[in-house]
Amino acid sequence: MTDLTRLTAADLAAKLASSEVSSVEATQAHLDRIAAVDGDVHAFLHVSDHALEVAADIDRRRAAGEQLHELAGVPLAVKDVLVTTDMPSTSGSKILEGYMSPYDATVVARSRAAGLVPLGKTNMDEFAMGSSTEFSAYGPTRNPWDLDRIPGGSGGGSAAAVAAFEAPLALGSDTGGSIRQPAHVTGTVGVKPTYGGVSRYGAIALASSLDQVGPVTRTVLDAGLLHDVIGGHDANDSTSLSDAWPSFAAAAREGATGEVLKGLKVGVIRELDDRGFQKGVSDSFRVSLAAMEAQGAEIVEISAPHFEYGVAAYYLILPAEASSNLAKFDSVRFGLRVTPQGTPTVENVMATTRDAGFGPEVKRRIILGTYALSAGYYDAYYGSAQKVRTLIQQDFDAAFAQVDVIATPSAPTTAFRLGEKLDDPLQMYLNDVTTIPANLAGVPGISVPSGLAEEDGLPVGIQFLAPAREDARLYRVGAALEALLLDQWGGPLLDKAPSLTNGASL
Amino acid sequence: MRHLGVLARIQLSDEEVQSLTGQLDAIVDNIAKVSEVATPEVVATSHPIPLENVFRPDVVQQQLTREQVLQNAPDQADGRFRVTAILGEEQ
Amino acid sequence: MAKDALMDFDEALEMFEPVLGFEVHVELNTATKMFSAAPNPANEANHGAEPNTLVAPVDMGLPGALPVVNAEAIRSSISLGLALGCSIAPSSRFARKNYFYPDLGKNYQISQYDEPIAFEGSVEVELEDGTIVTVPIERAHMEEDAGKLTHMGGATGRIQGAEYSLVDYNRAGVPLVEIVTKPIFGAEHSAPALAKAYVATIRDIVRGLGISEAKLERGNLRCDANVSLRPRGQEKLGTRTETKNVNSMRSVERAVRYEIQRQAAILAKGGTITQETRHWHEDTGRTSPGRPKSDADDYRYFPEPDLLPVVPAPALIEELRAALPEPPAARRRRLKAEWGFTDLEFQDVANGGLLDAVADTIAAGAAPAAARKWWTGEITRVANAQERDAADLVSPANVAALQKLVDAGTLTDKLARQVLEGVIAGEGTPQEVVDARGLAVVSDDGALIAAIDDALAAQPDVLAKIRDGKVQAAGAVIGAVMKAMKGQADAARVRELVLERAAQ
Ligand SMILES: [Mg+2]
Ligand SMILES: [Zn+2]
């Protein structure tokens, strides 16, 4: 029998639908894989102790002839930023250790309703602040391609789980690249939808005006299938769009035929050209562009003069919003409480708890954000950063008047070594230079594997950006390139990743 | 820096105060960078996708039970959350 | 707590000009909260709920929860803004006011900052003596209430000396409109009276709009009173204090008077006023300095990213404007004319807070004079004795029904007062009390005649006097008959019958 963990979600779903495979079998296979490799990878913070029951229920319903969703019975990993009623939700922080939410995040509720089987909660940088998952309070996740390297962040756990075949699908959240950059360094697919395309209700907020939940998968089609489940209007999120969205899975299937590449105008950003990108990253990017060009796409140089202000604006807006969003962790209603010696006041208890419960990166950003909002500076700091958003949106508008999609390398370098940039937060922040503009402008982005960097053999991703609400375009283009490259490679990129088990359970 | 710690309700150690003080420069650099282009005539964008008048009908929907409200309480009494004295002895 | 030195009020007014300002928080009575679909405890239907039973995730700041604006709260806020003569902002937005306090689930309050929904208005306030003062309104903005803290372990239930506190988040998220005045000049000796009348006017407005239960004792209306003094002839405003959460109209009046006297005493001695919030103590009739909040002036406001701008359609504003009730001052002028009351009679009603009660009683069929007499007379007397609000004792419909029984001769004035007592005691409608207590006037002549004949037989000397034409002697017999009938007889009818029987 084939290894069920190596199947794409779409293929597994087909086998489930035809009852060739049961959800219990599929779920058990993934739980076994987790047991075999997660000691090394550490993608999961919590593994569900009732996933098999959920799977058995799906099997029962299928046997009873119930009409089930296309993905029913397929296992799903859930980033710990999303609250769940049946598993703890910590957002990677000690301050929420053991926290049990009385309600499910909308995306989780929709996944359950579709019959997806939550396997567990995945590791992340504490409160999604980071690009390496090294800032998780529960220890880092390791990159399945090289266990000494970072899996990206903040959603390193979801990306690593998918890359290590511990789950076919995962949910992530992307505030400045936390879905796309981990996809880039793990050879997986990640989508940040249009802001408002997927509900934020139940996603523990980092920066409310930037956060967006999206799919983390191994193929573009799988991402589309999951996006179809979680997307759409939610009355519990005021910023949720009420648009009638097309099927993203259908867009991916259509894109895989390659037709979309004929005459497609792909913009490359002139100003990104001279940045310090790793050679293997730039090379891989150019190979992908050439492949698309060969199929009839037209590469057009565009200008985005304000993108270079994006990182600065982002690091004013994010800490400001985060400092306010994270004020609720105060030891009163939930979470950690640390009571200092003597006869403390509630103010002392709050301050001591927050000092003990937050990690250094979280404290750093809260303090910076508090400063950026403090008396008299709002206009100069936060307000000015919001103006940069306008300028970046104008850059996008001008660009999309000329091209259908914009392409960039998903991140400047391949996976760096654990610990390498820990002492240099600013260097770490620069990782997000390619991903941040999409969050600031609210436009959708996808990262698709483009190959391996020659110098280190590590995965590289290519990012496509589309106008707001044109997520379907990303699935078409992403699936088209994916099909082309798969042909060139003769199989999925992840086939080249180490097995991790020394052959033990395979 | 101490004042920021008070505002943010984080009991900062001396070392934390020192290292964070240095890092405030990062914010200052960002401000300088942003100020190059954030001129008065540029309007601010607070929401990436502009919407307005998003309201909910005034209809009661299921809320939390008291058990759910209190299920994560670090301390509780009489169906309420219990917290340490708000004022110190000298206040 | 050291006693403050106070200057005589009139003396203070001679030296200083008082400048007032008010911030009144109105709790809206919508079915649900400002940003969640949990039941609103400021709606009568949910009053008195058990702690932490009216809570949605966003009210207690649960991780991942998001606010969604209540459409009805927006309508109420626009109506209130219009009733205050304000302009409605073409676009307004919410902001986060950041500060830590255990009753604040998110440790920020969603409020409005630089773009309130209503701004620049004015409201006519009528003082007890009939003077009309125009109070300028700066803004009215929407926000959410905080939860409720109960301080335990101390001697007084006060925050000072408490060992610990308990938090109930039922009130967290109750929709509020905060009405902020501009500085009010020229109130002079009437400053305390104006404070009271202003709060009464806001209460009348929100009650008229039906957007709040408007019960001060429940905190549906809460007033912060700003007071500053400046020496006569000085242009520059003095330093102000803000006395927080004064929860009755009488207290607002007293607190303003107290602050004027306290500040005058300090300033006259060459001292300076500390800009601070102060607390009003009902028991001692004094104010005391509030807790010095270290971060009071650094709320780090920024636009609430979870919510979108409010852009009311002009048609909606006009619809709500057209539905506005008459402003309280105009209504008073109209009612006074309609009812034909003298100035004194009308002030009696108005100052007793009985305008609505009297109006409703008249609407239920009573004559204006009768309605006024009941409310300012017997009902007010009972209310004072029971230390309750007259309007809460009895319904206008019952008062009208009571008067109808008097008009029909079923009850004498004296009997009617007994019936009223029964109605107040919750024994039912006036007719039910009459029936249950058997209080109606005895209109059966047979019973009266028997009693009269007994009385005449018992007092033959009186009978003789009446027969001699000394009609006034009949009083003694009438008294005896009324006593025998336990007062349940119409004295005029008894008199008629006594003269009739004596003549036989
Ligand atoms: Mg105020
Ligand atoms: Zn307020």
As a whole number, mean pLDDT of residues C471-493 equals 81
ipTM: 0.96
As a whole number, mean pLDDT of residues A357-374 equals 93
Cβ proximity of C349 and C355 under 8 Å: yes
pLDDT in tens, C400-457: 999 998 998 888 888 889 899 999 999 999 999 888 887 777 767 778 888 888 888 8
Q: Which ligand is nearest to the CA of C225?
A: 1
Query: How long, in residues, is chain C?
Result: 504
pLDDT at C294: 47
Q: What percent of chain C has pLDDT over 90?
A: 65
pLDDT at A503: 43
Q: Shortest Cα distance from A92 to chain C (angstroms)?
A: 13
pLDDT in tens, A211-248: 999 999 999 999 999 999 999 999 999 999 999 999 99
Cross-strand bridge partners of residue A409 = A462
B17 touches chain A (CB under 8 A): no
Q: What is the mean pLDDT of chain C?
A: 91
Cβ proximity of A86 and A76 under 8 Å: no
pLDDT at A217: 98
Question: Which residue type is seen at A385?
Answer: A
Q: What is the mean pLDDT of chain A?
A: 95
B75 touches chain A (CB under 8 A): yes
Q: What percent of chain C has pLDDT over 70?
A: 98
Check CB contact under 8 Å for B85 and C74.
no
- Which of the two residues, C490 and A157, has the higher pLDDT score? A157
- Which of the two residues, C128 and A335, has the higher pLDDT score? A335
Question: Which residue type is seen at C273?
Answer: I
Q: Alpha helix (H) ranges present in C355-490?
A: 355-363, 368-374, 380-386, 390-393, 396-407, 413-424, 430-437, 445-458, 460-467, 474-484
The active-site residue out of A48, A89, A178, A331 is A178
Distance of alpha carbon A494 from alpha carbon A43, whole angstroms? 17
Cβ proximity of C20 and C26 under 8 Å: no
As a whole number, mean pLDDT of residues C243-249 equals 86
List chains touching A (3+ CB pairs under 8 A): B, C
- How many Cβ pairs closer than 8 A exist between chain A and C? 100
pLDDT at C435: 85
Is A178 part of the annotated catalytic residue set? yes
- Which of the two residues, A340 and C491, has the higher pLDDT score? A340
Residue C164: is its pLDDT beyond 80? yes
**A199, closest residue in chain C (CA to CA):** C66
Distance of alpha carbon C29 from alpha carbon C462, whole angstroms? 67
Pairing of strands C108-111, A44-47: unpaired
Full-model pTM: 0.89
Check CB contact under 8 Å for B80 and C73.
no
**C296, closest residue in chain B (CA to CA):** B7
Cis peptide before A154 (omega within 30 of 0): yes
As a whole number, mean pLDDT of residues C319-344 equals 92
Distance of alpha carbon C81 from alpha carbon C138, whole angstroms? 11
Dump the DSSP string for A391-405: HHHHHHHHHHTT-SE
A23-37, A412-426, C137-151, C330-344: which has the minimum mean pLDDT? A412-426
Distance of alpha carbon A257 from alpha carbon A259, whole angstroms? 6
As a whole number, mean pLDDT of residues A163-175 equals 98
pLDDT at A303: 96
pLDDT in tens, C374-409: 999 999 999 999 888 888 899 999 999 999 989 988
pLDDT at A43: 98
Q: Which ligand is nearest to the CA of C143?
A: 2
Check CB contact under 8 Å for C102 and A332.
yes
Residue C182: is its pLDDT beyond 90? yes
φ/ψ (deg, to 5) at C307: -125, 155
- Reduced to 3 states, what is the DSSP secondary structure of residue C223? strand
Distance of alpha carbon A154 from alpha carbon A152, whole angstroms? 6
Question: Which residue type is seen at C305?
Answer: P
C296 touches chain B (CB under 8 A): no
pLDDT at A504: 43
Distance of alpha carbon A154 from alpha carbon A371, whole angstroms? 24
Distance of alpha carbon C267 from alpha carbon C307, whole angstroms? 46
Maximum alpha-carbon separation in chain A: 74
As a whole number, mean pLDDT of residues C477-484 equals 83
- CB-closest option in A101, A333, A346 to C105: A333
As a whole number, mean pLDDT of residues A155-171 equals 98
pLDDT at A445: 98
List chains touching C (3+ CB pairs under 8 A): A, B
CA of C178 to the centre of ligand 2 (A): 5
Check CB contact under 8 Å for B23 and A323.
no
When pLDDT is cut at 50, 70 and 90, the band that residue A275 belongs to is: low
Distance of alpha carbon A281 from alpha carbon A433, whole angstroms? 14
User: Chain A residues with CB inside 8 Å of B72's CB?
Assistant: 99-100, 333-335
CA of C303 to the centre of ligand 2 (A): 16
Rg (alpha carbons) of chain B, rounded to whole number? 22
pLDDT at A241: 98
The active-site residue out of A89, A132, A154, A199 is A154
User: Chain B residues with CB inside 8 Å of A196's CB?
Assistant: 48-49, 51
Mutate to test the interface with A, among C60, C66, C97, C168 (most CBs of A within 10 A): C66
- Which of the two residues, C247 and A306, has the higher pLDDT score? A306
Q: Shortest Cα distance from C261 to chain A (angstroms)?
A: 34
Residue A417: is its pLDDT beyond 50? yes
The CB-side HSE value for A422 (13 A sphere, CA atoms) comes to 14
List chains touching B (3+ CB pairs under 8 A): A, C
Q: In terms of Cα–Cα distance, which of A181, A160, A170 is closest to A79?
A: A170
As a whole number, mean pLDDT of residues A244-255 equals 98
C61 touches chain A (CB under 8 A): yes
